[in-house]
């Protein structure tokens, strides 16, 4: 079976946890243990988020800009590439530590084209960076020209998140998978790029949603299952209330009639629905620790066209 597993940025770094290298490696090791549990004879492609990490690098870049006035901060596409390499390196290393030596693993920086006229550029929704209380978030937003939005009980910076259109390295990823290589790619939704009329690629100031990019990747690789692994065990109705209830198996049409937060569960639900509608294959949203049970159909919220939903 060909699986695309999308690891959430907040699953790799727990909410409110300090962004240290040790914390990130410990969380990645836990994620990799779950991935290895379904490796077996399956073909695996692993994508991952980068919201907390790219936000931290953006803060560091802005601080450097404050010191050196004639130096512009690094743009988000470059910072995204840095986090792809950083997180991909640790994922690959931990995979190699747990897999048999004959199982090959490769990490691939992945450019993803977006439409420069995407309306998302005028409506930032993608969370990046650490959490703040409201007063701190407002102060930082005023100083840095940020957009901010509530994330649960806290606030975070939000940036444009345009729809992924083309995965530039798709042919390379497909060749590697067909040769039995576990591929770590499309980190943070891929490096956001635009292509000019003459074919020239250039970066753009945005962060692509990892789940939407993973759905596109899974569709174009003809994956049998898309697994969206996050820090909750599924999709809930009436989330945050005493009436909350996890959905077990659900048709995408039913999910489309529900409302979910644009910066968190919303893109996951959209990605699962898009993949299922376009391919007829199932997608599952669930907890990182439950990947084996998700693949076997015993955990998570399974989005399916089955009439049993």
> Which residues, in sequence order, are bridge partners of residue 53?
none
Average confidence (pLDDT) over 113-136: 90
Task: Give the CATH number for residue 182.
Answer: 3.40.1160.10
Instruction: Check residues 145 and 84 and name the one with the higher pLDDT.
Output: 84
pLDDT of residue 239: 81
Domain residues for the domain of 34 are: 2-124+160-303
Is residue 19 in some structural domain? yes
Cβ-based neighbour number of residue 280 at 10 Å? 9
Instruction: Check residues 68 and 239 and name the one with the higher pLDDT.
Output: 239
Is residue 91 in some structural domain? yes
In this predicted structure, the answer to whether residue 76 has a pLDDT above a threshold of 90 is no
Is residue 143 in some structural domain? no
In this predicted structure, the answer to whether residue 17 has a pLDDT above a threshold of 50 is yes
Is residue 139 in some structural domain? no
Query: Please, which residues have CB within 8 angstroms of residue 127's CB and are 6 or more apart in sequence?
Result: 51, 55, 149, 151, 156, 157, 158, 263, 264
Residues marked active site are found at 9-10, 126, 210, 268
Rounded Cα distance, 32 and 36, in Å? 6
In this predicted structure, the answer to whether residue 66 has a pLDDT above a threshold of 60 is no
pLDDT digit string, tens, across residues 233-266: 999 988 878 888 999 999 999 998 998 877 678 8
Q: Which helix (H) or strand (E) holds 9?
A: helix 9-12
Q: Phi/psi of residue 158, each to 5°? A: -125, 145
Instruction: Check residues 20 and 84 and name the one with the higher pLDDT.
Output: 84
Hey, CA dihedral for 38, 269, 216, 117, is it positive or negative? negative
pLDDT of residue 72: 52
Is residue 149 in some structural domain? no
In this predicted structure, the answer to whether residue 25 has a pLDDT above a threshold of 80 is yes
Average confidence (pLDDT) over 299-305: 96
Is residue 257 in some structural domain? yes
Is residue 308 in some structural domain? no
Is residue 138 in some structural domain? no
pLDDT digit string, tens, across residues 26-63: 888 989 999 999 999 999 999 998 877 776 777 676 66
Count of structural domains within the chain:
1
Average pLDDT, the chain: 89
pLDDT digit string, tens, across residues 105-124: 999 999 999 999 999 999 99
């Amino acid at each position: 079976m060909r699986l695309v597993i999308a690891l959430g940025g907040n699953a790799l770094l727990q909410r409110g946890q300090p962004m240290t290298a040790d914390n990130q490696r410990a969380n990645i090791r836990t994620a990799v243990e779950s991935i290895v549990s379904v490796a077996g004879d399956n073909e695996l492609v692993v994508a991952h988020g980068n919201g907390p990490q790219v936000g931290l690098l953006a803060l560091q870049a802005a601080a450097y800009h404050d010191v050196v006035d004639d130096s512009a901060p690094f743009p988000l596409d470059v910072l995204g590439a840095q986090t792809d390499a950083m997180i991909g390196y640790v994922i690959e290393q931990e995979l190699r530590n747990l897999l048999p030596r004959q199982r090959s693993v490769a990490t691939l920086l992945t450019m993803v084209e977006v439409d420069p006229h995407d309306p998302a550029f005028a409506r930032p929704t993608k969370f990046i960076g650490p959490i703040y209380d409201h007063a701190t978030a407002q102060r930082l937003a005023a100083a840095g020209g940020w957009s901010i939005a509530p994330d649960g009980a806290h606030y975070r910076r939000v940036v444009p998140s345009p729809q992924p259109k083309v995965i530039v390295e798709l042919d390379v990823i497909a060749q590697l998978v067909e040769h039995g290589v576990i591929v770590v790619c499309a980190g943070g939704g891929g490096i956001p790029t635009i292509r000019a009329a003459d074919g020239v690629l250039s970066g753009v100031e945005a962060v692509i949603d990892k789940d939407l990019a993973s759905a596109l990747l899974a569709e174009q690789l003809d994956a049998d299952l898309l697994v969206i692994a996050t820090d909750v065990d599924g999709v809930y109705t009436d989330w945050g209330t005493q009436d909350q209830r996890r959905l077990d198996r659900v048709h995408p049409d039913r999910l489309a009639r529900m409302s979910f937060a644009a910066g968190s569960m919303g893109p996951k639900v959209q990605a699962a629905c898009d993949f299922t509608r376009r391919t007829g294959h199932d997608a599952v949203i669930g907890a990182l620790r439950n990947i084996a049970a998700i693949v076997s159909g015993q955990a998570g919220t399974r989005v399916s066209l089955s009439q049993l939903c």
